[in-house]
Amino acid sequence: MATAPKFRIDVDIHKLLMNAPPEPVQLPVSRGMTLPEPVFPQYPAKLSDPGPESPPASRNWTWPQVRRKMRGWLFPYLRSRLLPGDFHPITAYLFVEYKCNLDCWYCWAYNNQVKGMTEDIARRSIDWLHDHGCRVLALMGGEPLLRPQFAHKVVYYAAQKGFWVYIGTNGRLLRPEVTDRLGDAGVNVYNFALDAWEEKPSLPKALVPVRKNLEYLMRKQYGYGYMVFFNINICRNNSQDVRQITEFAREHRIATDYHINETPMLEQDEHFRHLSENPTYIRPEDWPQIDALVDWLLEKNQAGYQMVNSVQRLQEMKAFVRMAGGADLQRLGWNGDGTGMNGDVAGKIGNMPGIVQDANSELHFAGWNCRAGQNNVIIRTDGTVAPCFPMYPSTFDWGNIDRHKFAAPQLADMKKTCQQHCFSTLNHNLAYCYNDARVIKFVWTNLVKNRMRGGARGFED
Ligand code: SF4
Ligand code: SF4
């Protein structure tokens, strides 16, 4: 197999983002702060409630739970619309770890040499976000549950401060006692990542090894009031697994969220070991099987399976593999067997809303109002900040939690290019939602009228 391209954005912007500034980005100076010791259990009755044997037909959320969701999402949105200035984070990713206990071959977002976040940085990050009006905190990694006691402290502190807390995990360390501690502390959502049914060499995030943890997590969600959804990365070598996990989710009334596997947007250093010979990368000869899988998902979405992705977002996946693959094709001569990008398919996809086909027949996204660096921020383990997850490895100086340096002109300039190639689900969703009419409709339909009974549906449903 050929080597994959080292990055996917234009050379000039890549240089700007990856050429270290004369001085390294300044780290916040330690103030020796700590996180409070969580009280456990706060809710002994929930701890002893085993949860239902099988999932109830519908889920009724209490008004306090609905209010908490509004406090997390709606009020920061309104604040960002009303207050002057450009930086009003609504969603924040807190990278408590950059180490991981697994090795997914497509993943460049972990490095086992990097130290985990300190309590000092975690506490100050949460305080800083709180002061800026942010109320949605996602614990990310690497694997954020590598230090379960630390994660417990972070969730407890954030929930006490009124954050809506989200955890992205591979689930291996989410043992029942960890589920109970985090549920008791106030976690709101688990983004449970699964790519395969049984573990395979390049895709270790599999269901079979985590089944016991998962079954406990699913049962206890009704008592503690959190939600679980599966995060599934569509790769060239897991089409059948994606179908099987989707059916499992349906059976257990769990929502699903799909991503399409990407080569790294920015060049990685030597910590990323699988750029060559990677069986997960989608190549032109795989486009027909990916199209068939996306069509199957669209059918299931329309049949009422709970999916976070909208119909349009699923359809865009077909275009995205051709964008990424199209660029790779040119750089690498991945000609495939000609069945992928024929004029017909390219023409149809070029006409999809939001997709542009330029004079060289290259496909890319039209501008989509990315809000990263304005309404989304990531905090690295060392307390430095960046606008979004794809920019984690950038050496550009956006400052730290003591003093951010986000500037609207720099972000706008950068996004002219990176928006064309970026499939960041969170930021696409945030961009779509950053619209008063849609927010009003969503609040009315989902929070007031249906009291979230639809679960984790796409924002536009
Ligand atoms: S579990 Fe997550 S962080 Fe770890 S290697 Fe896989 S994708 Fe990366
Ligand atoms: S488009 Fe937005 S989310 Fe994507 S890389 Fe650029 S700034 Fe980040």
Domains and CATH numbers, the chain: 11-449 (3.20.20.70)
pLDDT of residue 458 exceeding 50: no
Counting atoms of ligand 2 from 1, which one is nearest the CA of 368? 1
Could you give the CA distance from residue 257 to residue 244 in angstroms, rounded to a whole number?
14
Could you give the CA distance from residue 171 to residue 246 in angstroms, rounded to a whole number?
17
Q: Which residue CA neighbors atom 8 of ligand 2 most closely?
A: 388
DSSP one-letter string for 21-59: -SSPPPPPPP----PPPPPS-S-HHHHH----SS--SS-
Ligand nearest to the CA of 91: 2
Q: For ligand 2, say whether the CB of 430 is within 6 Å of any of its atoms.
A: no
Nearest to 383, CA basis, from 18, 24, 132, 95: 95
Q: For ligand 2, say whether the CB of 388 is within 6 Å of any of its atoms.
A: yes
Whether the model clears a pTM of 0.85, i.e. scores above it, the answer is yes
Residues 364-390 have a mean pLDDT of: 92
Token digits of residue 433: 């939602």
Q: What pLDDT is stored for residue 459 in this prediction?
A: 40
pLDDT of residue 21 exceeding 90: no
Counting atoms of ligand 2 from 1, which one is nearest the CA of 419? 1
pLDDT of residue 418 exceeding 80: yes
Could you give the CA distance from residue 125 to residue 35 in angstroms, rounded to a whole number?
11
Counting atoms of ligand 2 from 1, which one is nearest the CA of 390? 5
Q: Percent of the chain, pLDDT > 90?
A: 56
Q: For ligand 2, say whether the CB of 323 is within 6 Å of any of its atoms.
A: no
Q: 233-274, pLDDT tens digit by residue? A: 999 999 999 999 999 999 999 999 999 998 877 777 777 877
